Amino acid sequence: MRYSRNRFSSEDRRGLMLFAAGIAVLAALAAVVLQKIHSPEHDYDRQTLCNESLRRQAHNLFIIDVSDAMSAYQKKFLSRHIARLLEASAVNDRFTIFVLDERYSGLSEPVVDLCKPRSAEDVSSLTANRLFVENLYEKRFESPLRGAIADTVSAGDQPISPIYEALSDVAALKRIDPRAQEVNLTLVSDMIQNSGAGSVFNSGPEAIEKLPAIDLRRARTRVLWLNREKYSQYQTPELASSWEDYLASVSRFDQIERIRN
């Protein structure tokens, strides 16, 4: 009994080729999706949203002096300043906010310590669930950050202002992210140092000149100087000059920007 050499017709062979091509395309798409799912960009910490598998361009640290309440204008200025920085920052940049806290005689525990995740605008429907990313960005990053800023700037008066101690704690407690390419440290304060390390009330600018050295050489430091009417006799150009000299000696000092009351 003989069998035909051509068991499949030309149409059958064409159909098989199309089927095989379809399988190949589906396999390729599945590989792409799996690669995306297991790619480093999805490997983030569920608490901090920081991704140790991705590059971190900047670590932005804020130390907010709550020894006196801010004016309405100063609160608005700070919120807008951080919002602009947040908008301009890259994915996986880190934001850490501390307060000058008398309970610690220096730096508090972080009020906020989060990395910027991808926003919904950064993803496509093919590689990510847009709604999930949108909720992650809003609920785990933007909302907590806004709430922490609002709580911080509304804090009441404190009898001491341990500015030097807070700066020293940043170095001593290793609060700077070692993976960040850039470190930006912003001090939001009236700059009236008043603690055991020195008091502007007692010694004027000389109190700053006698502060011990600390190592903040990785950090670019900037001061948002909060003008306070009741301290106008102490917030002198000489005090500003003393702080500029001190910060320039221990860090990469940028500038002092005065914020009106």
Q: Is the pTM of this model over 0.95?
A: no
Written as one string, the DSSP assignment of 59-128 is EEEEEEE-SSPPPHHHHHHHHHHHHHHHHHSPTT-EEEEEEEETTTTEE-S-SEEEE----GGG--TTTS
pLDDT of residue 247: 98
Fold (CATH) for 45-259? Rossmann fold (3.40.50)
What is Dmax (Cα atoms) for the chain?
Answer: 116
pLDDT of residue 33: 45
Domain boundaries, the chain: 10-38, 45-259
How high does pLDDT run on average in the chain?
A: 81
Identify which of 242, 240, 239, 245 has the alpha carbon closest to the alpha carbon of residue 256.
Answer: 240
- Residue 126 — pLDDT band, cuts 50, 70, 90? very low
- Which range in 45-54, 60-69, 155-164, 187-196 is most confidently predicted, on average pLDDT? 187-196
Indicate the range of 97-101, 176-180, 240-244 predicted with least confidence.
97-101
More confident residue, 259 or 131: 259
113's tokens: 């310590």
